[in-house]
Structure 1
Amino acid sequence: MGISQPRVGKNTFVSRLELPRFTPRKKEENASYRIISKDGKVQIGLQQISFFKRRRYWKNILTTVLQLKWRWMFVIFSFGFLLTWTAFAIIYYIIALVHGDIGDHYTGSNRCIAQVGSFTAAFLFSLETQHTIGYGFRHITTECGMAVLFVFLQFILGIGVQCVIAGLVVAKLQLARRCGKTVLFSSKLCVGTYDGEICLMVRVGNMRQCNLVSVRGYGVLMERETIEGNEGHYILRETSLEFTSENGGDYINLFWPAVMYCVIANNPSKFVDRLLDDGSELAITLEGIIESTGQNLQVRTSYKPQEIELGKKFFDLVPKYIHNNDQKSYHVIDHKDFHLTEIDPNWIQHFEKN
């Protein structure tokens, strides 16, 4: 496991992006030119998508709705209820109008719907029917069979609308990306030595008590290269990276904060130069399964050159055993040192050798 060769030539994955021209400015300003934000959002917008292509979103309406922000979901839900209330209110009003029940002058006792003599009353009856609030003075009678039929239909439709809305809310609350908010990446990426090899090192941790299983890490080094004779356009070249655990295994144990390693096997000095170039960005993705729900989890972050520390390694975080007077024993991890790094004493020796 380690670094694969950049995909170049015929098989190169090349993206021509309309990106701001990257010039050597202050490092703090360069941080804004991220393709992947620190919290994992892909900062690439899609332009000039025709109306006919946008219709594809409706072919998978569930995913489209779940990806909306909460405020838009609230608007959709509100309009869903208002639409059904209003639609059936209009139907009840028309039934009452045809039957001659509308108007204050009507004094008969054989109305289709008791005490419904205006659209406002019809709307309130529709709301009470759909949500089974309970009828007061307004109630259905046996005078009009059509009104009874639509009350029956509104009961069925109302239950369906409420089930769909409740299901969407639960599904959105259970989205794996929400659970990923508790997965923590180190603020810095270290380039140092481990087990006699020069490695990239990233610390990850799970803030929740629930366990993550089958956790794997991988990354992509994205490098911008200017197209000759075409100002403002860039070629985006990718180099795939594979991260492993401390023992070299593919799966990473997140019972406590762990460090992921990516061995730089070929020409480390050249790769470090590429890593520290102003136009480079290293995106790291962590995948796993939430043990309690079985959901797949994917979280990501990125590192710019100013967030990479050479000749450093992460401070060791070791679970401490605690035994209290209640005869309860447990281990604790101090997250205060999660982002803490220290000098790697073997860095110069190994780097000069390579």
Structure 2
Amino acid sequence: MLLWPPKGVELHLRMAGDSRVHMDHDMEIGVTPTAVQKLPKHMREAQISTERTHLIADPIKKPRQRYVQKDGKCNVHHGNVQETYRYLSDLFTTLVDLRWRFSLFIFTLVYVVNWLFFGLLWYIIALIRGDLWHSDEEGWTPCVENLNSFVSAFLFSIETETTIGYGYRVITEKCPEGIILLLIQAILGSIVNAMMVGCMFVKISQPKNRAETLMFSHKAVISVRDNKLCLMFRVGDLRNSHIVEASIRAKLIRSQQTKEGEFIPLNQTDINIGFDTGDDRLFLVSPLIISHEINEKSPFWELSQAQMDKEEFEIVVILEGMVEATGMTCQARSSYLDKEVLWGWRFTPVLSLEKGFYEVDYNSFHDIYETNTPSCSAKELAAMVREGQLLPTLSLLTPELPKPYTLEPMSTHNPLSKEVDKGEEGERGEINGSAATLKDQPGLD
């Protein structure tokens, strides 16, 4: 008797049915079939088995393209600019913004062309008057004495505009056209000198060079301060001359989709780092830790540690102030990608008290140490503190500072905080890193 379907076909249909069940299950939990098809062939075949199990690989987080580089340069290129005449309307700023090799080339070219142009005019005047042929005759008064070739006319043009005054070539009083040309060259030469020398002076003294000695920490951290989650980073100034009226602000750069469906690829959201309280006005004598309190108005209010690891964003920080020596406005920029914001860390102290002065150790400027921090969101933490559920564990949020400023990995079975070994705690004691005085910190006298 003929069986239908055959045994091999029946097994094939059963496997196809299992694959359809897995596919329907993937659609329910939010995994699209296209994501599975993009996997390599051997991985796709390995996921289809006779058992009713299906392994779903976690998507690999792609590195985000920086909007602002670590050194402050904006990673944006302007393309398809049609109205290029706008650059010529502000010629001085255009010359200042050019690279040094182009600025030096234009600086040299402008002077050489100017000297050649007026040298040619002096040569034409001598040619029209006949000074090139009658200069050796007695009783002949040339327009410019000792001007008998284009080279001598070019040298006379340089001497006139630069006011060198060698005294060998000189204009005579019986040449009205030469006197007029001399006035024109003197006026235009002064304009050229003012513009080109001023351009080079501004380019040399640009305040952005002062920003090279302003430092930002390599990482930003999130930890607890006064029972509140805070986002923190450190800034410092390497020079003894201070930045006057220094202020700092921060922007959150991330993609956003509005309720109407509009997609904004690089939406900018303000991050409050003390605008209301005046903490954004800095007295930048020693390195400072800038803190952003994650409250109801913060864009990180509802983000927990697990959610923060999945987010894609960039934090741009901008430090502005006036250079004390010149009074010019200076701006320094840096940024932190999502992978550069570490949850549960603090900055190592860098200030120590010596005999008669405070000393800053810039070798530890970027150092951080791990601290006990709840993994929940700031909104959940505020609710727990308000309800009194976090009071028994508040002491766990202020870790000790061992000599290397690092803590051993701790277990995280407590959902609110990391557990500290009670034996070690009894031997070493607790040091409140946020409230301890300078004399209590390691390395301080």
Counterpart residue number, 2:109: 79
Change (3 A) 1:319 1:161: farther
1:252 is displaced (CA, Å) by: 2.2
- The question of whether the paired residues in 2 share the 8 Å contact of 1:217 and 1:242 is answered with no
State the secondary structure of the residue aligned to 1:169: helix
Deviation per residue, 1:10-50 (Å, 9 max, x gap): xxxxxxxxxxxxxx7687xx36x211111111111222221
Aligned equivalents of 1:308 and 1:149: distance in 2? 69
Counterpart residue number, 2:95: 65
User: Residue type of the partner of 2:372?
Assistant: P
Counterpart residue number, 1:302: 335
Gaps of 5+ in 2: 1-58, 383-445
Greater fraction of residues in strand: 1
Counterpart residue number, 1:34: 66
Counterpart residue number, 2:233: 202
- Superposed counterparts of 1:1-354, under 5 Å: 30=63, 33-50=65-82, 53-102=83-132, 107-108=136-137, 109-224=140-255, 235-244=265-274, 249-266=279-296, 268=301, 270=303, 276-277=309-310, 279-322=312-355, 329-347=356-374, 353=381
User: Residue type of the partner of 2:207?
Assistant: A
RMSD of aligned Cα (Å): 3.0
Change (3 A) 1:118 1:282: same
Aligned equivalents of 1:273 and 1:248: distance in 2? 32
Change (3 A) 1:199 1:135: same
Counterpart residue number, 1:18: none
Which is higher, the Rg of structure 1 or of structure 2? 2
1:180 is displaced (CA, Å) by: 1.4
Counterpart residue number, 1:3: none
1:159 is displaced (CA, Å) by: 3.0
Gaps of 5+ in 1: 1-23, 228-232, 323-328
1:257 is displaced (CA, Å) by: 0.4
Which structure would you say has the larger RCO, counting Cα contacts within 8 Å and 6 or more residues apart? 1
Aligned equivalents of 2:278 and 2:307: distance in 1? 25
User: Residue type of the partner of 2:203?
Assistant: K
- The question of whether the paired residues in 1 share the 8 Å contact of 2:347 and 2:367 is answered with yes
State the secondary structure of the residue aligned to 1:270: coil
1:234 is displaced (CA, Å) by: 6.8
1:310 is displaced (CA, Å) by: 1.5
Aligned equivalents of 2:244 and 2:193: distance in 1? 35
User: Is 343-352 or 214-223 further displaced after alignment?
Assistant: 343-352
Deviation per residue, 1:82-134 (Å, 9 max, x gap): 1220111111011000011235x853252221222221111111011111222
User: Residue type of the partner of 1:83?
Assistant: V
State the secondary structure of the residue aligned to 2:131: coil
1:332 is displaced (CA, Å) by: 2.3
User: Is 91-100 or 190-199 further displaced after alignment?
Assistant: 190-199
Deviation per residue, 1:305-348 (Å, 9 max, x gap): 232221101111224333xxxxxx44321111110111123455
State the secondary structure of the residue aligned to 2:136: coil
1:219 is displaced (CA, Å) by: 1.5
1:56 is displaced (CA, Å) by: 2.1
Change (3 A) 1:176 1:106: closer
1:299 is displaced (CA, Å) by: 1.6
Aligned equivalents of 1:257 and 1:41: distance in 2? 22
